[in-house]
A and B are shown apart, each in its own frame.
Chain A
Amino acid sequence: MTEITFPDKDVVVLERKNFQSLLDALSDSGYELLGPTVRDSAIVYERIHAVDELPVGWVDVCEPGKYRLVKDKKKTLFGYTIGSQSWRRFLHPPTNKLWEATRDGNGFKVIQPEPDQVKRALIGVRSCELAALAIHDKIFSQGQYIDNSYRERRRNLFVVAVNCVRPGGTCFCASMKTGPKATSGFDLALTEMYVSNRHYFIVEPGSKAGKKLVDKLPVKQPKESEIKAAQKELNRAAAGMTRTIDSEHIGKLLNKKFDDPHWETIAERCLTCGNCTMVCPTCFCTNMEDSSDLTGQHAERQRKWDSCFTMDYSYIHGGSIRSSVTSRYRQWMMHKLVYWQEQFGMLGCVGCGRCITWCPVGIDITEEARQLTVTE
């Protein structure tokens, strides 16, 4: 594994006591702040205003099929590893009105909603989540057809990444080459340091907008020892991940396993609840729902998140293409690790581990991938 380092220039230090100044600078620039907070005993990404809304001192414990928040003695702001849900709902909302129509004589008129021009700052984006964002950029705004609503929301985004110094129990970003340190796709990347009761952040700008924002903050030049300490933490995090997927070879290996009997073994456990697809930061499937009001004067089309684990997903007149559990789990996993590569030139998995944590029966994609590819 290559050594994690910081760039030689532009990196600065922000003390914990000045952290609110970062949030204020973003608010003053017209950004709506979205960040981690504790709700319903889980880390969720929501609208925030002040530093004390962050999950101060909370740490998440993630295992297959298990999620707990526990208090930590250190009053870290980003001591947890990852939010229970990903950021995608802010750019590709679970429910999104595509258009409305009103009756007009014998016909109807279609009205396009105003583009969403809200400037959003995402606070605390993990490196794996940046990779997921890059994947959605590729799908929604760099293909043959452009998703305008995604592109509008994406255009106005400011991204504050936070590097991971504590790998979660289900993480495997190091093997997916998507973390734990953010390398691109951010405006600012922070590394939270808590050394002998001193609490500070190494701040690395990743864009012009990021640099401009740093100029407004009470920062100072880092000492060499501070950089070294942060590098050490990040390298330790990378080495501390126990789960892996052989991201270089998995596509080729798995592609030969379509008829492997192990899929049946997974299907014996899989409940087809679709949790994995709802928490996955790269899943992008949607359904269209057309409706009209009771008077019939007004109709609209909503686009809603969908899951390949439902029977409806592949339904055409006569029945569902994938009616067995085996085929639906296989579709999900082979899409992530095989088909995605052919479609978008990248894997559809970033190693965030959410599908493992939130699977009610604890199916572990890394373990199943290993089982399926352990023999040629």
Chain B
Amino acid sequence: MGTQQTSKRSGAGTQPDPMLVRPFTVRRVRRELPDTTTLELKSQADDAGMAFLPGQFNMLYTYGVGEVPISISGDLVKGEIFVHTIRVVGAVTRAIGKLKQGDTIGVRGPYGGSWPVEQAIGSDVVLVTGGIGLAPLRPVIYYLLANREKYGRLVLLYGARTPEEILFRRDLEKWRSRFDLDIQLTVDRATGSWRGNVGVVTTLIERAAFDPQHSTAMVCGPEIMMRFTALELEKQGIQHDRMYISMERNMKCGVGLCGHCQIGSSFVCRDGPIYRLDKMWSVFTRREL
């Protein structure tokens, strides 16, 4: 964590200013859910600095309103654009939700670290997520499927509040039809013609098919959900050092200079947001850390 000294003092003059916003054009808008949209963003300058790792985020700025950190939800193979999926929760995300094709949005990033797609090679992979948490994991799914032969069994356990709030429905259907990715869905509240599982996502874990001795788990959701997921995965036999979680904190700068996102000695923006569970377990045991 924080050990890579990429910029020596002498050569740092050429480094782009991490505080500076780059204007991007909204190339496409897709309404996923009533409060959730996916944007495709293309740089108005060159396409340099568009490479990203699954799990990384960008700081997205709407003119005059403000800036928020949003995970990249797109495919890294199609690296010439940034894809972000945003749920409206506050003033800035509301403004982002109103953007139309052709509008300009400010981008800083990509920042933060990666889900352990490399470390997971050779093992089963269990993805557990809920709600909008599927968005930061979608690049992982793209990556795993593009490199399918390198992994054992792939399991995606996903929970939504209601069937109507299931995100990326089209992707889920497409992935399901492949038969090499085991997808289990559950909802908190069944509506309409839902005949699937009802209950929290942790109830899916016991029945999922994976080898706990040779599995890597990646979990993305609210802290309470990640905590109970970790307990359940542990019960199944996955060690803490094979589980990864994604932390969320107030972020202002995105590069470890403003202080806001600290958890203990870690800057979530720079050292996270993806953590191996054993390195972040204290967040579940220490109140108001």
Whether the pair B12, A321 counts as a contact (CB closer than 8 A) is no
Whether A110 lies near B21 (C-beta < 8 A) is yes
Residues of A near B189 (CB, < 8 A) are none
**Shortest Cβ distance from B168 into chain A, in angstroms?**
21
Of the candidates A109, A290, A316, the one whose C-beta lies within 8 Å of that of B64 is A290
Provide the bound-state CA to CA distance between A112 and B2, in Å: 28
Q: Are B9 and A142 in contact (CB under 8 A)?
A: yes
Would you call the interface of chain B mostly helix, strand, loop, or mixed? loop
Out of B64, B248, B260, name the residue touching A285 (CB < 8 Å).
Answer: B260
Judged by DSSP, the binding face of A is: mixed
Partner of B257, one of A284, A292, A313, A321: A284
B264 within 8 A of A: yes
CB of B102 within 8 A of CB of A316, answer no
What 8 pairs across the A-B complex have the smallest Cβ distances? A107-B104, A292-B64, A285-B259, A327-B288, A342-B265, A145-B255, A339-B265, A299-B64
The 8 A CB mask of B251-276 against A (1 = contact, 0 = none) is 01101111110101101001000000
CA distance A365 to B31 in the complex (A): 53
The reply to whether A290 and B19 contact each other, CB–CB distance below 8 Å, is: no
- Contact partners of B64 in chain A: CB under 8 A: 290-292, 296, 299
Give the complex CA separation of A110 and B107 in angstroms.
11
**Which of B20, B44, B286, B288 is A107 in contact with, Cβ under 8 Å?**
B44
Which residues in chain B, 197-255, are within 8 Å of chain A measured between CB atoms?
A: 248-250, 252-253, 255
Contact flags (1/0) for A209-230 with B, using CB distance below 8 Å? 0000000000000000000000
7 A–B contacts, CB within 8 A, in A order:
A106-B102, A107-B23, A110-B20, A143-B257, A144-B2, A144-B7, A315-B250
CB-CB nearest in chain A for B248: A316
Contacting pair A286 B259 (CB below 8 A): yes
Task: Contact check, A339 vs B252: say whether CB atoms are below 8 A apart.
Answer: no
Residues of B within 8 A of A31 (CB): none
**Apart from A109-B23, A314-B260, A327-B287: 16 A-B pairs, beta carbons within 8 A:** A108-B63, A141-B9, A141-B12, A145-B255, A148-B19, A287-B258, A290-B64, A290-B67, A292-B63, A292-B64, A303-B19, A314-B249, A316-B248, A316-B250, A321-B249, A339-B265
Tell whether A144 pairs with B270 under 8 Å between CB atoms, given A151-B12, A315-B250.
yes
Is A184 in contact with chain B by the CB < 8 A criterion?
no
Q: CB of A146 within 8 A of chain B?
A: yes
Contact A324 B262 (CB under 8 A): no
Q: Distance (Å) between the CB of A91 and the closest chain B CB?
A: 13
Q: How far is the CB of A89 from chain B (nearest CB, A)?
A: 17
- Given A106-B104, A145-B257, A321-B288, A288 and B18 touching (CB < 8 A)? no
Roughly how many angstroms separate A98 CA and B254 CA in the complex, as a whole number? Answer: 14
Pick the contact of A339: B5, B65, B102, B264 (CB < 8 A): B264
Q: Is B184 an interface residue (CB 8 A)?
A: no
Q: Which residues in B have their C-beta under 8 angstroms from that of A98?
A: 19-20
- List the interface of chain B (C-beta within 8 A of A): 2, 4-7, 9, 12, 15, 17-23, 25, 44, 61, 63-67, 89-90, 102-104, 106, 248-250, 252-253, 255-260, 262, 264-265, 267, 270, 286-289
**Given the complex of chains A and B, what is the CA–CA distance between A286 and B18 in angstroms?**
15
**B63 is contacted by which of A286, A299, A321, A341 (Cβ under 8 Å)?**
A299
> How distant is the Cα of A113 from the Cα of B257 in the complex, in angstroms?
19
**Does A258 reach chain B (CB closer than 8 Å)?**
yes
Complex contacts, A323 vs chain B, CB 8 Å: 288
- Contact of A16 with B by CB under 8 A: no
Which of A101, A306, A338 has a CB less than 8 Å from the CB of B265? A338
A317: contacting residue among B18, B89, B255, B288, CB under 8 A:
B89
- Tell me whether B20 and A145 are in contact (CB under 8 A): no
A149-B257 Cα distance, complex, nearest whole Å: 12
- Once A296-B64, A327-B288 are accepted as A-B contacts, the answer to whether A286 and B262 lie under 8 Å apart by CB is no
